[in-house]
Amino acid sequence: MRKDSKNIFNNLGLLALLLGLSMSLDVAYAKEPDYPIKPITCYIPYGAGGSADLSTRALIEVASKYVGQKFIPINRSGAGGSLAAFAVMNSKSDGYTLGVIPTSAAFMAPFSEDAPYKDLSGFTMIMNFSHYIYLLGVRGDAPWKTWRDFIEWAKKNPRAAKIAVTGTKSNSSTGLFLWQIEKREQVEFTDIPLKSSLEILTAFLGGHTTMYFSTIDSSTMQYIKEGKLRILLYAGGPKAPGYENVATAQEIYGFSIPNLLGVFGPKGLPDFVLKKLDDSLEKAAKDADFINAMNRMNMPVVYQDRAQMNKYVEKTFKEMDEIFKNLKAEEVKGKK
């Protein structure tokens, strides 16, 4: 009887060991949940037809073949892109609602008084796919050949330089950049707030402003090639092909306009979702079809993976926080 009992206990021990090993193997080789199993919504922060819209659609069209599902683009413009960002931030963290975050939504909106969010803790940055090329330029028949020529003239003629921006100094990246230039060079510009890059270009071509300050697109590039627009300074982004001899603000002053055009989601995205998106979106950004589409729009492909994008966003957000503190302190001082 003792021998039988001993055998029973031995058998039970062996069975427990086998069950334990089986469970360990199941955990080790557990299959990740299938993702995605349905289309993914992608919020675009501006209206249809603009460079952000067209470049995003080009990316997600190519990305769909790597992800294995279609992307459904939804244009939600307003408040510098923060309305689209807010919609993504408040969505379910399952990987089926993503968006494109521009510079204004990441580095301008959080510092406005009526901002729907005050920091970026509610977001998961995934990848950056492009940067805008910001330029400051004058008409081809203007007397200024270089940026230094223009600045010396502006110093002698305070507020004579009329420069249109999308918004004001305190709520647009271009306005904030001009404020920094004014402080550094001890000059005064007259900034004219307009609503879009198209309005800025129209005002410039009509002779209503002294300088064009916005991004390069197909139309702008054509005017540059025809000699109707002369680039004096790059304010942000890479240099336009064929015009690399023009200086950048980073080279002259050590700062530039923050630049961001990337894919993000709400916080708390599961690792298996991020793994799939990391791989698929990187392949899409390096796909020849996407690169050719971006070239046709005169938009550079600037790929940053999740780690690189997060590092840039964290660093730039801190810098913008300091700039806004200085600007607000100056505004308060001016009211006294």
Share of the chain above pLDDT 90, in %: 78
Strand partners, 199: none
For 233-260, the pLDDT digits (tens) are 999 999 999 999 999 999 999 999 999 9
Q: Is the pLDDT of residue 75 over 50?
A: yes
Closest Cα to residue 136, out of 209, 43, 256, 234? 234
User: Which domains are assigned to the chain?
Assistant: 40-131+260-327 (3.40.190.150), 134-255 (3.40.190.10)
Q: What is the mean pLDDT of the chain?
A: 90
Considering only 126-135, 199-208, 261-270, 324-333, which range has the smallest mean pLDDT?
Answer: 324-333
Q: Is the pLDDT of residue 67 over 50?
A: yes
DSSP for 248-289, written as a single string: BHHHHHS------EEEEEETT--HHHHHHHHHHHHHHHT-HH
Check: CB of residue 229 under 8 Å from CB of residue 141. no
Per-residue pLDDT at 170 = 72
Per-residue pLDDT at 12 = 47
Check: CB of residue 232 under 8 Å from CB of residue 138. yes
pLDDT band at 50; cut points 50, 70, 90: confident
Per-residue pLDDT at 13 = 52
**What is the distance between the alpha carbons of residues 171 and 324, in angstroms, rounded to a whole number?**
10
The separation between CA 154 and the C-alpha centre of its own chain, rounded to angstroms, equals: 32
Higher confidence at residue 78 or residue 136? 136
Per-residue pLDDT at 196 = 83
Residues 6+ apart with CB under 8 A from 36: 67, 68, 69, 95, 96, 276
Per-residue pLDDT at 10 = 53
Q: Which H or E run includes 128? A: strand 123-130
Higher confidence at residue 43 or residue 79? 43
DSSP for 124-175, written as a single string: EEEEEEE---EEEEEETTSS--SHHHHHHHHHHSTT--EEEEES-TTT-HHH
Check: CB of residue 54 under 8 Å from CB of residue 297. yes
For 146-166, the pLDDT digits (tens) are 999 999 999 999 999 999 998
Q: What is the pLDDT averaged over residues 90-119?
A: 94
Closest Cα to residue 221, out of 80, 85, 51, 59? 51
Per-residue pLDDT at 108 = 93
Considering only 21-35, 96-110, 274-288, which range has the smallest mean pLDDT?
Answer: 21-35
pLDDT band at 197; cut points 50, 70, 90: confident
Higher confidence at residue 32 or residue 51? 51
DSSP assignment, residue 5?
H
Peptide linkage before 36 cis (omega within 30 of 0): yes
For 173-196, the pLDDT digits (tens) are 999 999 999 999 999 999 999 988
Check: CB of residue 72 under 8 Å from CB of residue 39. yes
DSSP-based helix, strand, coil % in the chain, nearest 5: 50, 20, 30
**What is the distance between the alpha carbons of residues 202 and 181, in angstroms, rounded to a whole number?**
24
Q: What is the pLDDT averaged over residues 275-294?
A: 98
For the chain, the first-to-last Cα distance in angstroms comes to 100
**What's the chain's Rg over C-alpha atoms?**
26
| 191-192-194 Cα angle (round to 5) | 135
Residues present in the chain in total: 336
Q: Identify residue 67 by its one-letter amino acid code.
A: V
SS3 302: strand
Per-residue pLDDT at 329 = 84
Per-residue pLDDT at 29 = 47
